[in-house]
Amino acid sequence: MILFITIILFMGWFFGWYTGYQYAWLIGAMGFSIFMAIFSYYRGDKVLLWSVRARPIIKEDNPYVYRMVENLAITAGLPLPKIYIIDDPAPNAFATGRDPEHSSIALTSGLIERLENEELEGVIAHELSHIKNFDIRLMMVVAILVGMIAMMSQWLFYSWGGNRRGGGQGGILIFGIGILLALLSPLIAQGIKMAISRSREYLADASGALLTRYPQGLASALEKITAYQGPMKRANNGMAHLFIANPFGVRAGKGIAHLFATHPPVEERIKKLRQMA
């Protein structure tokens, strides 16, 4: 949050200096950054669930999934999270929220259909471990705030740089800054997500395996999830690090995308789980 506020304040200071309304821009940037930090903390999970069109379920809608989440939550000593289904054939899942008392777990329909009982238990235990370890708070805030920085950089590029392309040296300077921000923001965002997500995935794998006492289940689930080649329908870079596996499917392991992967290699995760068995 401090990093996010600092970046937004810098943007406000620069454009305030350029336009001659330094204090107005700075105050506006400060208000916006604080508002978005608070919003991401209290409402970020709703935005993330809405973005993938997740729908909440109750026990009557899907007793099989509901009871499985309920039983594992009791075993983990956690309050029951809200349960969501994403209508998507790609097998995947994520958890979100600010704490265990305000948490949610979302599973794709493809995951439920493709995995056996022990495999699905392994995935749910992994996501419950994210909740128990408070990874959900960190990753949710990062997803919203980093996404806002990227959106603001694009807005500044088009509204200032794009419109002032022929406006003399000042216009060229702004255009150059706009391009720089547009290029750097996704790289900074990806770097932050990589640093956070990779280590937390290993921890959640281990914690989930200890919860079910059957590491083989999660290892087998990861193999099936990885074997599915297609991406999720509504996958986006802003929240890719939340999912148990990269939502872009086979594209995630090719070219430059592989260098900026938010998840550790699945082969390495499976190897570590097999060693726990």
Active site residues: 127
SS3 category, 97: strand
Describe the crossing of helices 22-51 and 2-19 by its angle, rounded to 10 degrees. 140
Q: For tokens 């770097």, name the residue.
A: 191
Total Cβ atoms within 10 A of residue 104: 22
Dist. CA 155–CA 145, nearest whole Å: 15
Pairwise CA distance, residues 79 & 170, whole Å: 56
One DSSP character per residue, 1-67 reads -HHHHHHHHHHHHHHHHHHT-HHHHHHHHHHHHHHHHHHHHHHHHHHHHHHTT-EE--TTT-HHHHH
> Which residue in the block uniquely carries the two structure tokens 């604080």?
34
Nearest to 5 by CA among 31, 25, 42, 23: 31
| C-alpha closest to that of 228 among 107, 94, 111 | 111
Write out the DSSP string of 137-188: HHHHHHHHHHHHHHHHHHHHIIIIIGGGTTSHHHHHHHHHHHHHHHHHHHHH
Q: Helix axis angle, 63-76 relative to 117-132, nearest 10°? A: 50
